[in-house]
Amino acid sequence: MRVIALTLLTLITLVACAISGVNHVVQPGQTLYRISKTYGVSADKIAAYNHVKDPTQIKAGESLWIPGVRHTRTVAVVPGTAHTTSQKSTPKVVRKKKVTPAKTVKKKKTPTKTTQPARNAPHVAAKKGLLDWPVRGRVLQTYGVKNGERSKGIVIAASAGTPVRCAAAGQVIYSGSGIKGYGHLLIVKHSDNLYTVYGHNRSTLVKTGAFVNKGQTIALSGRVPSLGQGGVHFEVRQGNQAVNPAFYLP
């Protein structure tokens, strides 16, 4: 019985201590830190009793239970503070950084370059006998315009399978049949931007990149579709410009 009585007395005392306290109405400018200092009760304890999750967010007019005290007290006001902080601190003043407008960098005007005509590539003067005939035969089609059609070269008659010889020493820059209207085609580059073209071959005997000599067999002649007979289409070009082969052949 005595043990039970002591237990009950202890419980009553604890409950009485827990219940004792006062309600403090928060005034504008009061902080939890100053309230706790004024009443002599820790800020954490006041926050726990009042279920305050963030001690810095108490508002003016809010009623706080201050446990363990008998009388309300006057709490000093911190000027310019609308809510509380759990620690004594001086409000930080955030200074706005001075924004300096970006300087406009004036672009220097670049003098407009005057486009000058490209220098002419080295030119080979027309000279009879500079080139050899690729095949010997009658000229079936001449250079220039005839019957409203323009021919960039000449067509020399030759039976199919006749050896086609290189008109001058040089390097093969094209060997194939990918250019429409020329059949199996060969293009040879000579010195000073001079080119010779051999078209409508039955087959070519040298590959692109090969170096060839004057008079070397480079292809076998084929058939010229537009004329319906065997022959070789032969052109002479100065750069990209087709010129009359008669000025270069013997």
Measured CA to CA, the distance from residue 141 to residue 158 in angstroms comes to 13
Both tokens of residue 63?
Answer: 């009623």
Tens-digit pLDDT profile for residues 109-129: 554 443 343 445 556 788 899
CATH topology of domain 19-89: Membrane-bound Lytic Murein Transglycosylase D; Chain A (3.10.350)
Which residue reads 């926050």 in tokens? 47
Q: Which of 3-7, 95-99, 124-128, 235-239 has the highest mean pLDDT?
A: 235-239
Kindly report the pTM of this predicted structure. Answer: 0.52
Residue predicted with more confidence, 178 or 78: 178
Q: Provide CB contacts within 8 A for 4, sequence distance 6+.
A: none
Is 155 within 8 Å of 224 (Cβ atoms)?
Answer: yes
Both tokens of residue 169?
Answer: 């020493």
Reduced to 3 states (helix: H, G, I; strand: E, B; else coil), residue 55 is helix
For 164-179, b/e burial (b = at least 16 CB within 10 A) is bbbbbebebebbeeee
In the predicted model, is pLDDT for residue 94 greater than 70?
A: no
Tens-digit pLDDT profile for residues 57-88: 788 888 888 888 888 888 888 665 544 444 44
Q: What pLDDT is attached to residue 2?
A: 44
Tens-digit pLDDT profile for residues 116-166: 434 455 567 888 999 999 999 999 999 988 777 788 999 999 999 999 999
Where does the pLDDT of residue 17 fall: very low under 50, low under 70, confident under 90, or very high at 90 and above? Answer: very low
Domain boundaries, the chain: 19-89, 139-247
- Calculate what percentage of the chain has a pLDDT beyond 70: 74
For the domain bounded by 139-247, which CATH number is listed?
Answer: 2.70.70.10
Calculate mean pLDDT across residues 96-101. Answer: 58
